[in-house]
Structure 1
Amino acid sequence: MRRLRMGMIGGGPGAFIGPVHRFAAELDREIELVAGVFSSDAGRSAAAGESYRIDSARAYPSLEAMFAGEAARDDGIDFVSIVTPNHNHLPSARAALAAGYPVITDKPLTATLDEAHQLAGVVAAAGKPFGVTYTYSGYPLVREARARVAAGEIGTVRKVVVEYPQGWLAGPAEGKQAEWRVDPARAGLGGCIGDIGVHAFQLAEFVTGLRVTELLADLGSVVPGRLLDDDCSILLRFENGARGVLLASQIEVGELNGLRIRAYGDMGGIVWRQEEPNTLTISRLDGTCTLVRSGTGVLGADAASRTRTPGGHPEGYLEAFANLYRDFAAIVRGDAAPLLPGIAEGVRGMTFIHKAVTASRENAGWVKLED
């Protein structure tokens, strides 16, 4: 089985997420980065291509050049990965799909909900595989948590608390990675809610298997002069009547990447923390508590198949990304990968962002979350 050949859009000099996607995609040796438009500036695209150690002729100055150049090769790309700021997701995905390529894109799906609906139409018309890298759904113990909740291990879910605290934007937004995230022209409608809040939302629905039906949002721009939200408090109601709380913030000084989910049922509770990703805690009504560790024989089939090292050897962010790329490679080859987030999850995430931002701005109280 030959490796799939990947073309990347974005990930130029100074980018954080581009190298992450490259490392993750290539981890299992099923995919190889061979081409890209790494920047809208031809010189920077060429420099990025050199840093990625690809053929200099395949570091292209534009999307049109890449699609034409790769189509003319016997060893052209098989799919496209989009790792740009949000405002470029729709035009990049539309162009790639029109050229006949499957697409996997970073989250959120687009800059606005209207763009998300446009892209959904493009994906449907193209009929090509499409994936969204909601990273945390790739962690083995997140998938184990989902499987155990679905199996009824904690009973009927009553309460969900999902938190995503960071502190890196507590002051002025300085540097490439910070500047675009607080710029409405590049980030879109949401700031913190679109950058990390949507991760928390997707994780809550992924682990519990329940859809949020209503929300009450209070989003703030805490840092003076900031145009987009940097602190979010949201109450949730789920389809089975469970209540939830979603907290996401980028102004909590001292916090790094403290994503955590807690789900409580009528028979027990389950907890997972991103900063300690190889442990899942399950508590029961009788007072007993079980620690489920990655790399051990107690994991279900999906989580076990997504774990690469023996117990006690930490796996984390890159491996979770790699699991999503492994799933996407399976879909491109015509196999099934039902847990990979796709266009529906992408649109749902944008619906959440749109509803939360507009409801908070309008002080609308409880609003229904509808696609």
Structure 2
Amino acid sequence: MGLIGGGPGSFIGPIHRIAAEMDREIELVAGCFSSDPGSSREAGESYRIDPARAYPSLDAMFAAEKARDDGIDFVSIVSPNHHHLPAARAALAAGFPVISDKPATSTLSEAQELTALVASAGLHYALTHTYTGYPLVREARARVAAGALGTIRKLVVEYPQGWLAGEAVGKQAEWRTDPARSGPGGCIGDIGTHAFQLAEFITGLKVVELLADLAAVVPGRPVDDDCTVLLRYDNGARGVLLASQIEVGEMNGLRIRVYGDKGGLVWRQEVPNTLTLHSLDGRTEVVHAGGPQLGPDAASRTRTPTGHPEGYLEAFANIYRDFAAVLRGESAPLLPGIEDALRGMTFVDTAVRASRDVSGWVPLTV
């Protein structure tokens, strides 16, 4: 694996490295970790790779790695949003499959270009919607598909954080609140896309219309930091998406509730090893990660017995395990791909435009 981004001060670069290498199917061996050659060398030292493979530019990395018998098999893009398309474009042109942090790009037009590039290159592309890697998220999807909840009527997905309630201080905060680097969507692109994709992933439904209220609550902030979006799904179900980064005291409180005519379910990212299912007759079932009642999608991505917590790193590793399977020519139908990339950016673009320019419901058309 070659890493693009993840230089000094990055939190997500080491996360990707740990996740990719957890199952010993992938090894980080090269990277262009920063646009600054010195910083790229420094990052290479921290990752303990061959110093000669910590490259000063993408062109240098692709040229050198293509010439090696043991060169990289794919690249992982973990840089800020505005780098995603140029990096993916260069990688695909050089013949390397891509796995990328979300959102796929900073704008919808870039996502459309990326979709065309992936199709033209004929190479694999995946998106790290990490929460789809949690075993109990996959179990929730399987239960919904099997009809355990009946016909879905209502979805509520929430993603509250509080880390941007004040001044944006530090590298991570600064680029996420800069539209030149994040794109026109702030909170809606950073975490709203996760909530949007998670709801569609679990239910199998697609949003067809939305009504959005996006706000920049912190004075002077040029992108949204608090979002409320009403959703209509293709089966007639109604949904609510709440995403905020100004809710003081909240950490990473992603939660989804799904209600059908036969039952409901609840899953929380901060308590990821339990899935609660309610039945119309009043019964409640609590499903535990690693338990014998799990279906194959969840069981195959669980590493420890019941009661031994698995979390974010393991979920991330499941995404990489799926990507490794795809590169070997195997099937990994739950791996988010270019369709999720385009759909996510269509959601961001539609929500931003609807909140700024339109009064009323707006179609979401991909």
**Mapping for residues 300-311 of structure 1, pairs under 5 Å:** 300-311=295-306
SS of residue paired to 1:320: helix
**In the alignment, which of 264, 267, 271 is matched to residue 266 of structure 2?**
271
Structure 1 position 180, deviation (Å): 0.2
- Are 1:241 and 2:228 counterparts? no
Structure 1 position 200, deviation (Å): 0.1
Render the CA deviation track for 1:103-159: whole Å, top value 9, x for unaligned: 000000100000000000000000001100001011000000000000000110000
Give 2:179's aligned residue.
184
Render the CA deviation track for 1:66-99: whole Å, top value 9, x for unaligned: 0011111110000000000000000000000000
Q: Which amino acid is the alignment partner of residue 187 of structure 1?
A: S
Give 1:149's aligned residue.
144
TM-score, normalised by the number of residues in structure 2: 1.00
Give 2:357's aligned residue.
362
Structure 1 position 189, deviation (Å): 1.3
Give 1:129's aligned residue.
124
- Are 1:9 and 2:4 counterparts? yes
Structure 2: distance between partners of 1:202 and 1:364: 24
**Mapping for residues 23-172 of structure 1, pairs under 5 Å:** 23-172=18-167
Q: Which amino acid is the alignment partner of residue 102 of structure 1?
A: P
Structure 1 position 364, deviation (Å): 2.7
Q: Which amino acid is the alignment partner of residue 91 of structure 2?
A: A
**Percent of matched pairs sharing the same residue:** 74
SS of residue paired to 1:272: strand
Give 2:245's aligned residue.
250
Structure 2: distance between partners of 1:269 and 1:77: 45
Aligned residue pair count: 366
Give 2:344's aligned residue.
349
SS of residue paired to 2:273: strand
Structure 2: distance between partners of 1:189 and 1:153: 39
Structure 1: distance between partners of 2:119 and 2:149: 37
Aligned-residue CA RMSD in angstroms?
Answer: 0.5
SS of residue paired to 1:162: strand
- Are 1:339 and 2:327 counterparts? no
- Are 1:174 and 2:169 counterparts? yes
Render the CA deviation track for 1:176-221: whole Å, top value 9, x for unaligned: 1100000001000100000000000000000010000000000000
**In the alignment, which of 219, 222, 241 is matched to residue 214 of structure 2?**
219
Structure 1: distance between partners of 2:339 and 2:126: 10
SS of residue paired to 2:168: coil
TM-score, normalised by the number of residues in structure 1: 0.98
Give 1:297's aligned residue.
292
Give 1:3's aligned residue.
none
> What are structure 2's unaligned runs of at least 5 residues?
none
